[in-house]
Structure 1
């Protein structure tokens, strides 16, 4: 090859290399362009469709652990998400979106703000659900157990509701939560047979503590012994339970009756002499309130 031919070949190779570098830089700039408000709204919809709560972290809504757990147990998810009109004004934007849920076309408007990390969707990407059970203080929403009467922000989906604790109370419902909406859901709750057994066990334990050996009539135990008319001073009280009161639940309260209790009192009589007297009641009775925690039943005895 002549010297001129070699020189022309070298020039050609350099030109090809420069062209390749230019194309690469162009592609890099194109692929690294910041996401638009529309891009972020689209990513939000796709993550919801794929049931990927973690995938939503890059789009902006602040998702609690409760909301993630609830979403994982949802019974219906959005499909066919689409982005509509985008209205951008400076560092804020609103994006209209539509999607299918429960076979119906739904729509919402998302509000986004431009930050150093890109466009972020605010709380408009979540709905707020408040469940009001007629009995109990906790409910299951999807796979999360939450306090009743407290609004919980949730991702758009259909959620099963279950009274808690579900081994003691029975109540189910289903509710759809949509972006930017507030939903109140009433939950009818019935007591299971196991609730009476658990409450009776809790009451028995309480009354056995009440009747431990001592010198006072304990509060909240239904024990009323008329020793004041016969004793000037009491030094010891010994109880013997013959029959524990039988409990009946009624909504948020209970009554328990039919108990038989024997109490032996030792002390000083009104005449100043040592005295021991045994009292027996066949109408030992208590009442109180009932409340449910996330996993158990608790009693407050009057």
Structure 2
């Protein structure tokens, strides 16, 4: 496979994709969702390695279900029980699996910048399952897919993303993906959780509630220790989607969250499965999206 082919089939982020490519992935996901048989065996004999150097139960299981539905052979690799703990580099691990003959790799890691470096030196397509505070492209794609299913079209929608924008790879991927499809994105965040590198206006929580989509981000409660948030109760009072605030959103609007949810912090417990919530629908939509992305990597 040429370097150009590897790059074309990889998915490192939405920042580098154009609107047509994003729409094509959403269309292919719709095709896979419509299939009556769970296992299609579209890619038999292909080996895909899930390389998780950072924990994530939901994302890994979602990829694994998607890969098995495509009929691929799945290798699961967890850094917690690997030689990476003994000092082997991430590059060496990926290179080792490449040498064993994998056809594509799904990779999740904490350090920023490592993924792009590894991808430039590896000759199999890589799919970003979350890297540092940089991007989480398949999460954004399943978010876009969820919105498109709800509203029919994305262009002209207004999406408010609320929470810790500064540390959020979900906010970044969503901003870049949504903007390319004609969506107006606004942020709402405490002053010390704003990202100066991202080009979107900040609004108050009351203004955010007027959006078509209110997307709440997970708050890292360990940021208490650094003093970034004073308390979970204080965060909920100022920026949480409380039942009182949810009563003010439009009848057509939907509530989203990348999960896992800190119930009664960024969103009240009773709203997680509210009629306007799409949180579990997002999780379901992750499977056809990841089928489309894995298929693209193997095509």
Normalising by structure 1, report the TM-score.
0.20
- Relative to total residues, which structure has the larger strand share, 1 or 2? 1
- Relative to total residues, which structure has the larger helix share, 1 or 2? 2
Normalising by structure 2, report the TM-score.
0.20
**Relative contact order: is structure 1 or structure 2 higher (C-alpha 8 Å, sep ≥ 6)?**
2
The structure with the largest alpha-carbon Rg is 1
